Amino acid sequence: MTEPQHGDRRHSPGPSLYPIGFAAGVACILVGLIINPMVIVPIGVVIAVVCGFLWARDATKEFRGEPVAAIEPERGGPRESTDAPAIPPDRGEAAMPEPDPGERFPRNRFLEGATLGFGAVIGGLVTVPAVGFMIVPAFKGQGYPKVDLGPLDNFTPGQWFVTKFFMHPEAGEVSHRTAYIRNNGQLNGKPSFTIISNRCAHLGCPVQPNGPVQDNQKKDINLPKGQRITMIPAIPAGGYGCPCHGGQYDVEGNRVSGPPVRALDRYDFAIVDGHLILGTPYSVSHVKGEGKDALIYKYKLTGPGEHVDGWEQILYPLQPPH
């Protein structure tokens, strides 16, 4: 029996399907995060973990002393004459020197390990932040802050106001939002407000009141923590219109015509110490009635262009947690 010669040694793992399985598992996780985090993500995790484990086990066979399948040299092409035997790779001028048998970790093994390790570190540095930024925000529960819109007395009963405010005053103009607010008077002894978002339910353009906006009566209110509320009386007698694609809504925000698929979103509200506090936004399929008597068909906040009821809603992916 002859000992394997230096030139016969294989340092790279043989062909394997485990990396493909691992990549498929990761892809499954990413797709699952969008489509169905509760079902598809666990399946992807199982595939990635199993294939990753088998891949690592396969790749470290040689280091663990397990026998490695020998790879046959390529065949084909014109055959050399068998009269002159080929020079073995460990002979002749180009042959590598024999490793020192007493050397536990030959230099080529060290270089191979260092290259793989270095590649893994670089890959991790590039991949982990990108994946983190992609996935973490969906689970961070960013929520919506409570926004103080000022004293109730500023909202004349029955009057609509174009109301501008900062969702996050510390973030400045990027957090500027607009809502159409009407004080509906008292309902069962409590103040009633209609607060409609100006985000079009088609693709999110800012809808405008179909009626006069009384800019000359504009009022700016400065509140603590950098909050500034701008209130402009308006008479949206014709409802609201979207300048982007012509979507039209009635005064309660119901879709009347055009491409929007549902009514305008609304905000919850609370009254705290005589101030109107803006709460969480929500989506609305439609509204029956008006003002404080309105019956609102309310749903969890959904992206523009998405149905919230009817069979069409199943065409859209589940919303990530928010």
Q: How many residues lie near ligand FES (CB under 6 A)?
A: 12
C-alpha triplet 305, 310, 315: angle, nearest 5°: 55
User: Judged by CB under 6 A, does residue 307 bind ligand FES?
Assistant: no
User: Judged by CB under 6 A, does residue 232 bind ligand FES?
Assistant: no
> Least distance (Å) from ligand FES to the CB of residue 261?
10
> Least distance (Å) from ligand FES to the CB of residue 306?
13
Strand intervals (E) in the chain: 147-151, 160-166, 176-187, 190-197, 208-209, 219-222, 228-234, 240-241, 248-249, 255-257, 266-272, 275-288, 295-299
Taking CB under 6 A as the binding criterion, the range among 43-51, 145-153, 166-174, 198-206 that sits at the site for ligand FES is 198-206
- The β-bridge partners of 275 are 151, 272
How many helices (DSSP H) and strands (DSSP E) are in the chain? 3, 13
Calculate the CA 151 to chain-centre distance: 37
First to last CA, the chain: 68
User: Judged by CB under 6 A, does residue 205 bind ligand FES?
Assistant: yes
User: Judged by CB under 6 A, does residue 182 bind ligand FES?
Assistant: no
Taking CB under 6 A as the binding criterion, the range among 123-131, 139-147, 253-261, 290-298 that sits at the site for ligand FES is 253-261
Calculate the CA 286 to chain-centre distance: 28
| Furthest-apart CA atoms within the chain: distance in Å | 109
Taking CB under 6 A as the binding criterion, the range among 29-37, 232-240, 254-262, 275-283 that sits at the site for ligand FES is 254-262
Taking CB under 6 A as the binding criterion, the range among 57-65, 124-132, 189-197, 201-209 that sits at the site for ligand FES is 201-209
138 closest CA partner among 227, 37, 209: 37
237 closest CA partner among 223, 250, 224, 256: 250
Nearer to ligand FES, 201 or 229 (CB): 201
- From 203, 213, 277, 296, residue interacting with ligand FES (rule: CB under 6 A): 203
> Least distance (Å) from ligand FES to the CB of residue 204?
6
Nearer to ligand FES, 13 or 259 (CB): 259
> Least distance (Å) from ligand FES to the CB of residue 257?
10
Residues near ligand FES (CB under 6 A) are 200, 202-203, 205, 242, 244-247, 258-260
